[in-house]
């Protein structure tokens, strides 16, 4: 029996009013809404907190990890610290962020109910099982409430290798988001939650994917509906 999937819809609009509007329009189809602050021209978390009741995840992805933010690290983290002070559901910080960024985030989280997702993305390929398990161990050691490992699949073996990480995560009692980008990785986006993954990500629609191979929320729901029947 498949586990109930936790669906996160990623919002990557440039205009904040547009982003809030589209977030409201898909909120009923999502368990979590990811607000990509690095996509916004003038990032501000408050409009989302005031208008959206669905649990919010704030991400401010730097260019060096496939995002759009290119400014100073202090500025990048400021909105995430604000989100933590507002006790939002989640914030995402990169596993390879500077050590002081991670330390400051851990300090901020001590007085917050916000959960920390430490993430690692590989846009080129899928490393060996040993490296993937090592990345997961680093996330747990660095204080993550939830780990996130996203690689690029070139074949079905890559996708299977990433999905098999859930076996290790279960033994460690460590919530893990893990699937693959790219066409061969689409199946992993669908299957991950049924195999113990914490969450899967999708787009508002086919044109607004924030990562290669990302399905629309409508398509993902259709697939899950078919799997249940």
Residues catalogued as catalytic = 121, 148
What 37-41 contacts at long range (C-beta under 8 Å, 24+ apart), as own/partner pairs, is 37/69, 37/79, 37/80, 38/62, 38/67, 38/68, 38/69, 38/76, 39/11, 39/12, 39/13, 39/14, 39/68, 39/210, 40/13, 40/14, 40/15, 40/16, 41/14, 41/15, 41/16
| CA angle, residues 38, 165, 58, in degrees to nearest 5 | 20
């Amino acid at each position: 029996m498949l586990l109930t999937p936790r669906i996160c819809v990623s919002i990557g609009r440039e205009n904040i009013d547009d982003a809030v509007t589209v977030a409201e329009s898909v909120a009923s189809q999502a368990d979590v809404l990811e607000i990509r602050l690095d996509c916004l021209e003038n990032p501000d978390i408050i409009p989302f907190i005031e208008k959206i009741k669905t649990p919010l995840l704030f991400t401010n992805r730097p260019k060096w990890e496939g995002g759009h933010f290119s400014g100073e690290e202090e500025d990048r983290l400021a909105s995430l610290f604000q989100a933590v002070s507002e006790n939002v559901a989640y914030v995402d910080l990169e596993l390879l962020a500077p050590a002081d960024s991670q330390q400051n985030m851990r300090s901020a989280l001590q007085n917050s109910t916000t959960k920390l997702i430490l993430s690692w993305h590989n846009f080129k390929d899928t490393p060996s099982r040993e490296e993937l398990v090592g990345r997961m161990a680093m996330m747990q050691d660095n204080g993550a409430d939830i780990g996130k490992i996203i690689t690029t699949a070139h074949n079905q073996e890559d996708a299977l290798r990433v999905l098999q990480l859930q076996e290790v995560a279960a033994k460690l009692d460590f919530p893990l988001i893990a699937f693959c980008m790219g066409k061969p990785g689409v199946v992993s986006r669908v299957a991950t939650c049924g195999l113990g993954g914490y969450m899967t990500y999708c787009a508002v629609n086919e044109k607004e994917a924030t990562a290669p191979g990302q399905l629309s929320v409508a398509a993902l729901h259709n697939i899950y509906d078919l799997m249940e029947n």
